[in-house]
A and B are shown apart, each in its own frame.
Chain A
Amino acid sequence: MLSAFHLTRKFGERVVVDDVTLNVGCGEIVALLGPNGAGKTTTMRMIAGLIRPTRGSTAIDGVEMTERNGSQLRGRIGFLTEAPGLWDSLTVRENLETYAGLYGLARPAAAIDALLSQLRLTEHASARSAELSKGMKQKVALARTLLHDPPVLLLDEPTAGLDPEITKHVRDILEERRAAGCALLVSTHNLDEAQRISDRVAVIQQRLLAFDRPDALRRKLAHGHVRIRVAGDATPYLDAARVFDAGASARGSELWLRLADAEATTPEVVRHLVDAGADVVEVQPEQAGLEEVYLHFVKSSEAAAP
């Protein structure tokens, strides 16, 4: 697992990352969300041991990263950088062979062949990197990141600019790695992706604004709106609904209520409506989407900024 404690990074007087503490457990994907310039890449670079925190520390499997053990701990991390960073004049295989040597793989050819096959890159193995499309380059970069089978993966925008098919493929691979027990920290702008693959979401804008499971974050922003669909016209049951919310409204076969504590009150509302003769077909609490959660935290942070 990976841990970051009170990570702070300044460039001159400018604070780019301020007191960020987070952890990613084994078999967990944490999505790192934030607007451009929020400090996501800087946070990842600090965790990867590439740049020094001004304050705070990082640890891999409980071992704090220092100058002395940096080389050893970097061997336990796979870092997919923002740019693919392939050597253009080398072929795909040569790029991977170089990294296999740098990571000291015992059986490089077998590891490379397996990854090329898994990422459907085998037929491109002899192509020079300069000849590859952006999506292919990103896949090769991902292969490079996974080559040494690291227990910790830091992925900076892994699906940025990829077509839907490759994006799906990359997500499948990330889920496979999670199933294999890896700790994955994934920086992304794609809220849909974050919602799909992540176990927890960290929203940062210099500071860590929120860090929790996606559904827990959505609940925090829940407005208490509940939509209840009944058989036939809902208007006759409006009075029964207004016992709980004076502002309740009826739209066709739907009743709309706003409840102070929706989770606790909704069963009672349903019982009351049934007693009033309504045939309740569907009850749907209206939760905020992840996008709404994200925008809420980011805008609140901007509003609070001096």
Chain B
Amino acid sequence: MTRRIRALLRKELIEISRHKSSLLPIAFVGVYCLVLAIGLTVLLPTFTGEKLSEDPDYLKLSASIVGYPGLSADGRIQAYFFQQFLLVFLFVPISVAMTTAAHAVVGEKEARTMEPLLATPLTTSELLIAKVIGALLPAVVVTVPELLLYLGAIAVFSEPGVLATMITWRSAAAVGVLAPGLSLIALQLTVLFSTRVQNEDTARQLAIVGVLPFGALILAQFTGHLWLSAAALAASGIGLIGAWLLLLALSVAAFDRDRVLTRWR
């Protein structure tokens, strides 16, 4: 990472630290996912007296959880849902971080801080990388403790042995490869649009349209229409990181200093 990226990144992080409330939505959706997952798989069956395994659809869905002989049918269903919520859990905070990314270029322009910034030796790729990482890092910083909380809640509330189903290559692929790849794509798309439109809302809305296909994949996964193995998740993640590099190159080519300074009002 170049010194200039580090300098701009530091500034981005200071700005976010001064506006901590902007991180609240990320924290909120994490807690929401946690409550929903525990509520659906642990609390609801306890209060209604109906076991998860009484639902044949749930049994069918949880058939993908194999290789845990000590786990009951309810435990397998719990494990299935926790794994599905894990993907949502990883995806949702990034969609919130897109707000920060949407502010990236158009926000500098609106605050009239872009011109002195562009007058420095900072290159376009350095500017855009700093903006993407500046949006990604706070989301990661908030999400990681929430992820640990999620795993802790599973350990406490679910059947013994369910937590072990979470510590898998599949989860590792989801957390370590797919989530970063997806995040980079989403944030780079937002930054790309942020360089081409005149307000943050438009940038965010366009980027959401851009990442909708990924959202559809996760929805299909969540509803059981699609089950991606660890290898498939890892391959998807690596593909997404490659796509991000292409998107970064496209963003650099599309970033027109002249247009940013002269056509925006």
* Chain A residue nearest in CB terms to B18: A89
Nearest-neighbour CB distance to chain B for A64, whole angstroms, equals 17
Cβ-defined partner of B122 (8 Å) among A71, A83, A87, A90:
A71
Which positions 116-165 of chain B face chain A at CB distance < 8 Å?
116-123
By size class, the interface of chain A is 20 to 34
Q: Which residue of chain B lies nearest to A46 when distances are taken between CB atoms in the complex?
A: B258
Q: Which residues of A are found within 8 Å of B60, using beta-carbon distances? A: none
Q: Are B262 and A51 in contact (CB under 8 A)?
A: yes
A50: contacting residue among B15, B19, B113, B119, CB under 8 A: B119
Known: A79-B116, A102-B121, A144-B116. A50 touches B261 (CB 8 A): yes
Task: State whether A89 and B19 are in contact (beta carbons under 8 Å apart), knowing that A71-B122, A98-B10, A102-B121 are contacts in the complex.
Answer: yes
The reply to whether A89 and B14 form a contact with Cβ atoms under 8 Å apart is: yes
Decide yes or no whether A72 CB sits under 8 A from chain B.
yes
Q: Are B120 and A103 neighbours in the complex by a CB distance under 8 Å?
A: yes
Cα–Cα distance between A109 and B114 once the two chains are bound (Å): 24
Interface pair B11/A90, CB less than 8 Å apart: yes
B112 contacts the other chain (CB 8 A): yes
Question: Given contacts A71-B123, A74-B119, A85-B116, is CB(A102)–CB(B262) below 8 Å?
Answer: no
Chain B residues closer than 8 Å to A88, beta-carbon distance: 111
Q: Are B14 and A81 in contact (CB under 8 A)?
A: no
Tell me the A104-154 residues at the B interface (CB within 8 Å). Answer: 104, 141, 144
Q: Is the CB of A52 within 8 A of B258?
A: yes
Which chain A residue lies CB-closest to B257?
A: A50
Check A81 against B115 for contact (C-beta < 8 Å): yes
Q: Is B265 an interface residue (CB 8 A)?
A: no
> Of residues 12 to 28 in B, which have CB atoms within 8 Å of A's CB atoms?
14-15, 18-19
Nearest-neighbour CB distance to chain B for A155, whole angstroms, equals 12
Q: Known contacts being A74-B121, A98-B8, is A86 close to B113, with CB within 8 Å?
A: yes
Q: Given A51-B257, A86-B113, are A75 and B121 also a contact pair (CB < 8 Å)?
A: yes
B225 at interface, CB cutoff 8 A: no
Taking a contact as CB atoms closer than 8 A, the residue among A50, A72, A74, A98 that contacts B7 in the complex is: A98
Whole-angstrom distance from the CB of B96 to the nearest CB of chain A? 20
Nearest Cβ distance between residue A130 and chain B, in whole angstroms? Answer: 10
Contact of B15 among A51, A89, A102, A104 (CB under 8 A): A89
Q: From residue B246, how far is it (CB to closest CB) to chain A in Å?
A: 21
Residues of the A chain whose Cβ atoms lie less than 8 Å from the Cβ of B15:
87, 89-90
A247 within 8 A of B: no
B51 at the binding interface (Cβ < 8 Å): no
A50 to B114 alpha-carbon distance, docked (Å): 11
Those of A55-90 within 8 Å (CB) of chain B = 71-72, 74-75, 77, 79, 81, 83, 85-90
CB atoms of B116 and A71 under 8 A apart: no
Say which residue of A11, A48, A85, A101 sits within 8 Å of B4 (CB atoms).
A101
User: Is A45 an interface residue, CB under 8 A from the partner?
Assistant: yes
- How far does the alpha carbon of A286 sit from the alpha carbon of B113 in the complex, in Å? 47
In the complex, per-residue mask of B233-265: 1 if CB is within 8 Å of any chain A CB, else 0: 000000000000000000000000110011000
Which residues of chain A come closer than 8 Å to B8, judged between CB atoms? 98, 101-102
The interface residues of chain A lying within 8 Å CB-to-CB of B112 are: 81, 83, 85
A94 beta carbon closer than 8 Å to chain B = yes
* Cβ B121 vs Cβ A103 within 8 A: yes
Query: Within 8 Å CB of A90, what residues of B?
Result: 11, 14-15, 18
Q: Are B113 and A85 in contact (CB under 8 A)?
A: yes
Note all chain A residues with C-beta closer than 8 A to B114: 85
Q: In whole angstroms, what is the CA distance A90 to B13 when docked?
A: 11
Q: Would you call B111 and A72 a contact (CB within 8 A)?
A: no
Task: Tell me how far the C-beta of A84 lies from the nearest C-beta in chain B, rounded to whole angstroms.
Answer: 8
What separation, in Å, do the CA atoms of A144 and B118 have in the docked complex? 13
B121 and A101 contact, CB distance less than 8 A: no
Q: A77 CA to B122 CA in the complex, in Å? A: 13
Q: Is the CB of B6 within 8 A of A81?
A: no
Chain B nearest CB, measured from A42 CB (Å): 8
Closest Cβ neighbor of A90 among chain B residues: B14
In the complex the two chains form, is B261's CB within 8 Å of A45's CB? yes
Do B120 and A50 touch across chains, with their CB atoms under 8 A apart? no
- With CB as the reference atom, state the residue of chain B lying closest to A48: B119
Chain A minimum-CB-distance residue to B17: A89
Task: Please report the C-alpha to C-alpha distance between residue A87 and residue B113 in the assembled complex, in whole angstroms.
Answer: 7
Give bound CA distance, A100 to B4, whole Å: 9
In angstroms, Cα B10 to Cα A77, docked, is: 23
Known: A88-B111, A89-B14. A51 touches B258 (CB 8 A): yes
Q: Which of A74, A94, A101, A144 has the most CB of B within 10 A?
A: A101
Residues of A within 8 A of B6 (CB): 101
| 10 A-B contacts (beta carbon < 8 Å) | A49-B119, A50-B261, A71-B122, A83-B115, A85-B114, A87-B111, A89-B15, A90-B18, A99-B7, A102-B120
What would 14 more interface pairs be, CB under 8 Å, given A81-B119, A89-B18, A101-B3? A45-B261, A72-B121, A75-B120, A79-B119, A85-B114, A90-B15, A94-B11, A98-B7, A98-B10, A98-B11, A99-B116, A102-B4, A102-B117, A102-B122
Report, nearest first, the 4 A-B pairs whose CB atoms are least far apart: A101-B7, A79-B119, A75-B121, A83-B112
